[in-house]
A and B are shown apart, each in its own frame.
Chain A
Amino acid sequence: MSFLNRVWRNILYVNVCKRSQVSQKRQANNNLLSLVARMIKKIGAVLLICVLIRILTGCGDPVVWNNPHPTSESGQNILYSVFTERPKHLDPVQSYSSNEIQFTAQIYQPPLQYHYLKRPFTLIPSTAVDLPKVTHYDSNDQPMSDGATSDDIAYTQYEVSIKPGIFYQPHPAFAKSAQGDWLYHQLNDQDLAMVYKLSDFAIMNTRELTAHDYVYQIKRLAHPRLHSPIYGLMADYIVGLRDYAAELRNAERSLEGGAFLDLRKYFLGGVEVIDDYTYYIRIRGKYPQFIYWLAMPFFSPIPWEADLFYSQKGLVEKNITLDWYPVGTGPYMLTENNPNLRMVLEKNPNFYGEFYPEEGMPDDLENGLLNDAGKAIPFIDKIVYVREREGIPRWNKFLQGYYDASGIGSDSFDQAVQLVGQGEATVTDEMMVQGIRLETTVAVSTFYMGFNMLDPMVGGTSEKNRESARKLRQAISIAVDYEEFISIFANGRGLPAHGPIAPGVSGYRSGKAGMNPVVYEWVDGEAKRKSLQVARRLLAEAGYPNGIDRKTGSPLTLYFDVVARSTEDRSMLDWMRKQFQKLNIQLVVRSTDYNRFQDKIRKGNAQIFEWGWHADYPDPENFLFLLYGPQRKANNSSGSSANNAANYENAEYDRLFEQMKDMEDGIPRQQIIDRMVDILRHDSPWLWGYHPKDYGLYHAWFNNVKPNRISNNNMKYYRIDPLLREQKRREWNAPVLWPIMLVFLSAIGGLWPAVRAFRRHEKSAAIKSDMSPLI
Chain B
Amino acid sequence: MLTYIVRRILYAIPILIGVNLITFMLFFVVNTPDDMARMQLGVKYVTPEAIEKWKIERGYDKPLVLNENKDGWRKFTETIFFEKSIAMFIFDFGQSDDGRDIGFEIKSRMLPSLAIALPVFVLGLMVYITCALIMVFFRATYIDFWGVVLCVALMSISGLFYIIAGQFLMSKLWHLVPISGFGAGLDVIKFLVLPVIIGVVSSAGANIRWYRTIFLEEMGKEYVRTARAKGLGEHLVLFRHVLKNALIPILTGAVVVVPLLFLGSLIVESFFGVPGLGSYTIDAINSQDFAVVRAMVFLGSVLYIVGLILTDVSYTFVDPRIRLR
A-to-B contact residues, CB < 8 Å: 64-68, 70-71, 86, 88-89, 96-97, 224-225, 227, 229-233, 317-319, 321, 323-324, 338, 340-341, 386-390, 392-393, 396-397, 399-400, 593, 595, 598, 616, 638-641, 643, 733-737, 739-740, 753-754, 757-758, 761-762, 766
Q: Which 8 A-B pairs have the closest CB atoms?
A: A340-B275, A68-B178, A68-B181, A595-B35, A393-B180, A736-B174, A232-B47, A639-B48
CB-contact partner of B271 in A68, A71, A393, A758, under 8 A:
A393
B104 close to chain A: CB less than 8 A: yes
Chain A hits for B177, CB < 8 A: 65-66
B-to-A contact residues, CB < 8 Å: 30-32, 35, 38-51, 53-54, 57, 98-101, 104, 109, 134, 137-138, 141, 143, 164, 167, 169, 171-183, 187, 190-191, 231, 233-235, 270-273, 275, 279-280, 282-283, 287
Docked Cα-Cα span, A594 to B213, in Å, equals: 49
Asked whether A68 lies within 8 Å of B47 as measured between CB atoms, the reply is no
CB-nearest residue of chain B to A740: B176
Chain A hits for B54, CB < 8 A: 227
CB-contact partner of B275 in A317, A324, A341, A392, under 8 A:
A341
Distance in angstroms from B209 CB to nearest chain A CB is 19
Docked Cα-Cα span, A400 to B191, in Å, equals: 16
Given A229-B46, A641-B46: A762 in contact with B38 (beta carbons within 8 A): no
10 A-B residue pairs with Cβ-Cβ distance under 8 Å, sorted by A, are: A64-B175, A65-B177, A68-B181, A96-B42, A317-B101, A340-B280, A389-B273, A639-B47, A736-B173, A739-B169
Given A389-B279, A593-B30: A640 in contact with B180 (beta carbons within 8 A): no
Asked whether B141 lies within 8 Å of A229 as measured between CB atoms, the reply is no
Asked whether A595 lies within 8 Å of B38 as measured between CB atoms, the reply is yes
Asked whether B179 lies within 8 Å of A68 as measured between CB atoms, the reply is yes
Asked whether B234 lies within 8 Å of A761 as measured between CB atoms, the reply is yes
Chain B hits for A733, CB < 8 A: 175
CB-contact partner of A65 in B50, B175, B182, under 8 A:
B175
CB-nearest residue of chain B to A96: B42
Chain B hits for A321, CB < 8 A: 99
Asked whether A340 lies within 8 Å of B32 as measured between CB atoms, the reply is no
Given A88-B98, A762-B234: A390 in contact with B44 (beta carbons within 8 A): no
CB-contact partner of A595 in B31, B190, B275, under 8 A:
B31
CB-nearest residue of chain B to A321: B99
Docked Cα-Cα span, A510 to B275, in Å, equals: 47
Asked whether A640 lies within 8 Å of B134 as measured between CB atoms, the reply is no
Given A66-B171, A595-B38, A639-B48: A393 in contact with B31 (beta carbons within 8 A): no
Asked whether A388 lies within 8 Å of B178 as measured between CB atoms, the reply is no
CB-nearest residue of chain B to A753: B143
Asked whether B175 lies within 8 Å of A387 as measured between CB atoms, the reply is no
Asked whether B50 lies within 8 Å of A231 as measured between CB atoms, the reply is yes
Chain A hits for B176, CB < 8 A: 65-66, 735-737, 739-740
CB-nearest residue of chain A to B233: A762
CB-contact partner of B181 in A86, A386, A737, under 8 A:
A386
Given A340-B275, A387-B273, A757-B141: A66 in contact with B235 (beta carbons within 8 A): no
Distance in angstroms from A197 CB to nearest chain B CB is 11
Asked whether B138 lies within 8 Å of A70 as measured between CB atoms, the reply is no
Distance in angstroms from A235 CB to nearest chain B CB is 9
Chain B hits for A230, CB < 8 A: 45
Asked whether B46 lies within 8 Å of A640 as measured between CB atoms, the reply is yes
Given A319-B101, A389-B270, A393-B271: A734 in contact with B279 (beta carbons within 8 A): no
Distance in angstroms from B230 CB to nearest chain A CB is 11
CB-nearest residue of chain A to B231: A766
Asked whether A86 lies within 8 Å of B283 as measured between CB atoms, the reply is yes
Given A387-B273, A595-B32, A735-B174: A319 in contact with B179 (beta carbons within 8 A): no
Docked Cα-Cα span, A762 to B138, in Å, equals: 12
Asked whether B104 lies within 8 Å of A390 as measured between CB atoms, the reply is no
CB-nearest residue of chain B to A643: B44
CB-contact partner of B50 in A227, A393, A643, A737, under 8 A:
A227
Distance in angstroms from B92 CB to nearest chain A CB is 12
Given A229-B41, A754-B143, A762-B234: A393 in contact with B179 (beta carbons within 8 A): yes
Distance in angstroms from B325 CB to nearest chain A CB is 44
Docked Cα-Cα span, A96 to B233, in Å, equals: 72
Asked whether B47 lies within 8 Å of A66 as measured between CB atoms, the reply is no
Asked whether B42 lies within 8 Å of A97 as measured between CB atoms, the reply is yes
Chain A hits for B273, CB < 8 A: 341, 386-390, 393
Asked whether A96 lies within 8 Å of B44 as measured between CB atoms, the reply is yes
Docked Cα-Cα span, A558 to B217, in Å, equals: 65
Asked whether B190 lies within 8 Å of A65 as measured between CB atoms, the reply is yes
Docked Cα-Cα span, A71 to B173, in Å, equals: 21
Asked whether B50 lies within 8 Å of A232 as measured between CB atoms, the reply is yes
Chain B hits for A66, CB < 8 A: 171, 175-179
Asked whether A229 lies within 8 Å of B179 as measured between CB atoms, the reply is no
Given A70-B183, A319-B101, A639-B47: A739 in contact with B174 (beta carbons within 8 A): yes
Chain A hits for B174, CB < 8 A: 735-737, 739
Distance in angstroms from A665 CB to nearest chain B CB is 24
Docked Cα-Cα span, A260 to B39, in Å, equals: 27
Chain A hits for B46, CB < 8 A: 229, 232, 640-641
Docked Cα-Cα span, A735 to B270, in Å, equals: 25
Interface centre among A393, A733, A766 (most CB of B within 10 A): A393
CB-nearest residue of chain A to B46: A640
Docked Cα-Cα span, A225 to B54, in Å, equals: 9
Asked whether B47 lies within 8 Å of A762 as measured between CB atoms, the reply is no
Chain B hits for A641, CB < 8 A: 45-47
Docked Cα-Cα span, A251 to B221, in Å, equals: 80
Asked whether A70 lies within 8 Å of B187 as measured between CB atoms, the reply is yes
Docked Cα-Cα span, A377 to B190, in Å, equals: 36
CB-nearest residue of chain B to A616: B44
Docked Cα-Cα span, A165 to B271, in Å, equals: 47
Chain B hits for A65, CB < 8 A: 175-177, 190
CB-nearest residue of chain B to A738: B174
Asked whether B104 lies within 8 Å of A340 as measured between CB atoms, the reply is no
Docked Cα-Cα span, A593 to B288, in Å, equals: 12
Interface centre among B53, B169, B172, B181 (most CB of A within 10 A): B181
Docked Cα-Cα span, A643 to B40, in Å, equals: 18
Docked Cα-Cα span, A388 to B270, in Å, equals: 8
Distance in angstroms from B221 CB to nearest chain A CB is 19
CB-nearest residue of chain B to A761: B234
Distance in angstroms from B175 CB to nearest chain A CB is 5
Asked whether A319 lies within 8 Å of B175 as measured between CB atoms, the reply is no
Docked Cα-Cα span, A318 to B101, in Å, equals: 8
CB-nearest residue of chain A to B190: A65
Chain B hits for A638, CB < 8 A: 47-48
Interface centre among B176, B234, B273, B287 (most CB of A within 10 A): B273
Chain B hits for A231, CB < 8 A: 47, 50
Distance in angstroms from A59 CB to nearest chain B CB is 15
Docked Cα-Cα span, A88 to B287, in Å, equals: 10
Chain A hits for B143, CB < 8 A: 753-754, 757
Distance in angstroms from A583 CB to nearest chain B CB is 32
Chain A hits for B43, CB < 8 A: 598, 640
Asked whether B182 lies within 8 Å of A232 as measured between CB atoms, the reply is no
